[in-house]
Amino acid sequence: MDVIDRLHAAVKASGIPKKTIAHRIGITSFRLSRLLNNHLESPSIRTIEDILREIGLSMLALYGGKGSASEAQVKKSRDGLRALGEFVDLYDPAVQRDPPRSLAAPRLPKSSPPHVAKPFRPVAMPNAILFDDDELKEMKIPRSLWNRGAKWAAQAVGDSMKAAGIDDGDIVFFRRTRNVRAARNQIVVCRVGTSVYIKRLRAVGDQIHLVSENDDVEYPTVVVKPDDDVEQYGIVILPSR
């Protein structure tokens, strides 16, 4: 039984819904299902460790029981997965070559690949859930927003963007772009570490601030530094007022 098969069995035994695990680690439930069913060609070792953390296991514990693996064997498995991900990223023509850009300004350094990214725990709670491709197929996007490039969607969690007209549970539509300069002062959907946010993007010196908009409650700002693991998904397109 390889590491993915063991991981699948461990998730099932935990009793925690896959949708809950996916939300907590910042990926879609569709992608999590593909990973657990061995349909991803380049599984991220960090994603696997995030899943294990959510179900209360370590990589070593994944090999527990009779004939359990040594730490050296577990390290060998980790290195193998990392090497597989790097090989596919380099040589698979289906893999997108355009790497995510950092949200840091004014320079736009490349963000670290997922399999070597440093963990980052933001002070603010994530406030967005992304929809996967299957869910988007069932979703009707208003024509006026579609014509302005909004072909992807996320659901807001909480009221941190209430003053911008985005309430808890609202579906927001966004157009994909990694152009950080175009996103300045716009409401964006982005990932910082394993957390997904819908926030106003502000450039402050050599940092980016992801700012909430609520006149009644002061929410902490997410401060993004140049070496943080960040991916900008797109700019939110709101209905014209």
d(Cα 193, Cα 26) in Å, to the nearest integer? 8
> In the predicted model, is pLDDT for residue 222 greater than 80?
yes
Alpha-carbon torsion angle 46, 52, 53, 57, nearest 10: -140
| pLDDT bucket at 43, cuts 50 / 70 / 90 | low
pLDDT tops 90 at residue 235:
yes
Whole-structure pTM value: 0.50
CA distances from 216 to 75, 199, 231 (A): 49, 16, 29
More confident residue, 18 or 92: 18
d(CA 51, CA 35): 11
Residues with Cβ within 8 Å of 80's Cβ and at least 6 positions away in sequence, in order, are none
> Would strands 152-156 and 128-130 be described as parallel, antiparallel, or unpaired?
antiparallel
Residue in 154, 157, 165 with CA at minimum distance from that of residue 215 = 165
Q: What is the pLDDT of residue 10?
A: 86
Strand 171-176's sheet: what is its strand order? 128-130, 152-156, 171-176, 230-237, 187-192, 195-204, 207-211, 222-224
Quick one: average pLDDT of 31-35? 80
pLDDT tens readout for residues 78-130: 555 555 455 444 444 444 444 444 444 444 444 444 444 333 333 456 788 88
What is the DSSP code (8-state) at residue 43?
-
Thinking of the domain 114-237, which architecture would CATH place it in? Ribbon (2.10)
Whole-angstrom Cα distance, residue 30 to residue 45?
Answer: 18
For 181-210, what is each residue's pLDDT tens digit?
899 999 999 988 888 999 999 988 888 999
CA–CA separation, 234 and 133 (whole Å)? 16
State how far the alpha carbon of 98 is from the alpha carbons of 89, 113, 202, in Å: 11, 12, 24
Which architecture, in CATH terms, is 3-91?
Answer: Orthogonal Bundle (1.10)
Q: Where are the domains of the chain?
A: 3-91, 114-237
**What confidence tier does 160 reach under pLDDT thresholds 50, 70, 90?**
very high
Contact 145, 239 (CB under 8 A): yes
Please tell me the chain's helix, strand, coil percentages from 3-state DSSP, rounded to the nearest 5. Answer: 35, 20, 45
Which of 187, 191, 214 has the alpha carbon at shortest distance from 199? 187
The per-type count for the chain, helices as H runs and strands as E runs, is 9, 8
- Tell whether the model's pLDDT for residue 68 goes beyond 50: no
